[in-house]
Amino acid sequence: MQAFYIRNFNIIIIIIINLISMGEVDQAFIQSIEHRPNLDTIEIEGIPLIDLSLSHTTDINVLVSKIGTACKNWGFFQVINHGVPLELLEKIKVAAKAFFDQTMEEKRKVKRDEVNPMGYYESEHTKNVRDWKEVFDFLIKDPSFLPASPELEDDEMRTLSNQWPENPPQFREVCQEYAREVEKLGYKLLELISLSLGLPSNRFNGYFEDQLSRMRLNHYPPCPCPELALGVGRHKDAGALTIVAQDDVGGLQVKRKSDGVWAPVKPTSNALVINVGDIVQVWSNEAYESVEHRVVVNSERERFSIPIFIFPSHYVMVKPLEELVNEGNPPKYKPYNFGKFNVARNRSNYKKLEVQNIQISDFKII
């Protein structure tokens, strides 16, 4: 019973802090009118659901074809029979709730900042608007190395390391075990995507030797004004691939390529949500597209999600793959260094900037 009261008290505190920011200090959470969510419930076609298991009736070519079609038409899909143990999927959801149940004082003991971007944070911005959420981030490979600045002539590197809370018990162990399993799934999916592009299954492997991949726990508290704010504003993912576990509340929406309608991603039991990121869009020379998505919130139920962002090594130069370009399909992007790109892009996570952060469109060849 005591835990119940502590949990609800923490949620109330987060709401009060956010309301003060929203109503009396500034309007950092308020989306511009054209980007505010329509909360009317609509039934529309959802993203594809793909069974990754193979049997005598389903060969690898059929699976590769389904993956390719989903990447081409949606940029998003859900997978079942993915190989991540279901008991581990439940354990990570419990661990996420246990961490965010703690007092703000306890969570802020591992608060991240611009010097160390791993840990807890409660005031992240997307497109220069504050998100209605709190997060905990950690690196898959610890330590990892990143350029010290986005300036191309600056060769200095910095070391990124995780910071782990003392509580809840077993939190670190569960997070790392889950991350290892999903990382294996990520590479399996990248192999299938490579095959769907007509490339060898191992074509992408060399890009991830010193990966910058990271995992995040998201908590979206109930929002008293869900028609004005977003859990995460509209955006595209900068990495190669994102793999998301979500609870049964729902809130993730994908901007449908065919007509620009925001399509809800309906939670499916034991499924994981997959989306291709900007890097796959560039590698494929736009055969596949990184699609805009967002998270809507509600006034009654908190929501949790656990994404893993598959990022390459900091020294990788991202460009259209030479096997996929020719005279009739010339490169659509100039090469860019992922480490420098990543540093530049993350600057807007911590404060509102006067300009939009860097996008792959900045490297588009007109």
Per-residue pLDDT tens over the stretch 155-208:
999 999 999 999 999 999 999 999 999 999 999 999 999 999 999 999 999 999
pLDDT digits (tens, 9 = 90+) for 75-131: 999 999 999 999 999 999 999 999 999 999 999 999 998 778 899 999 999 988 999
Query: Distance between CA 37 and CA 253 in Å, rounded?
Result: 10
Does the pLDDT at position 274 exceed 70?
Answer: yes
Query: Distance between CA 218 and CA 254 in Å, rounded?
Result: 18
**pLDDT at residue number 3:** 54
What are the strands of the beta sheet with 49-51, ordered from one edge? 49-51, 76-80, 272-276, 241-246, 303-310, 214-220, 134-139, 119-121
Give the whole-number percent of the chain exceeding pLDDT 70.
88
Does the pLDDT at position 23 exceed 50?
Answer: no
> Token pair of 207, please?
């890009």
Local structure of 37: helix, strand or coil? coil
Query: Distance between CA 280 and CA 260 in Å, rounded?
Result: 21
pTM of the shown model: 0.90
Where residue 357 falls among pLDDT bands split at 50, 70, 90?
confident
Of the ranges 219-223, 256-260, 349-353, which one carries the lowest mean pLDDT score? 349-353
**pLDDT at residue number 199:** 98
**pLDDT at residue number 115:** 78
Q: Which domains can be identified in the chain, with CATH numbers?
A: 2-363 (2.60.120.330)
- Characterize 202-230 residue by residue with b for buried, 16 or more Cβ atoms within 10 angstroms of its Cβ, and e for exposed: ebbeebbeebbbbbbbbbbbbbebbebbb
Long-range contacts of 262-266 (CB under 8 A, 24+ apart): 262/37, 262/38, 262/294, 263/44, 263/45, 263/46, 263/47, 264/42, 264/44, 264/46, 265/46, 265/47, 265/76, 265/78, 266/46
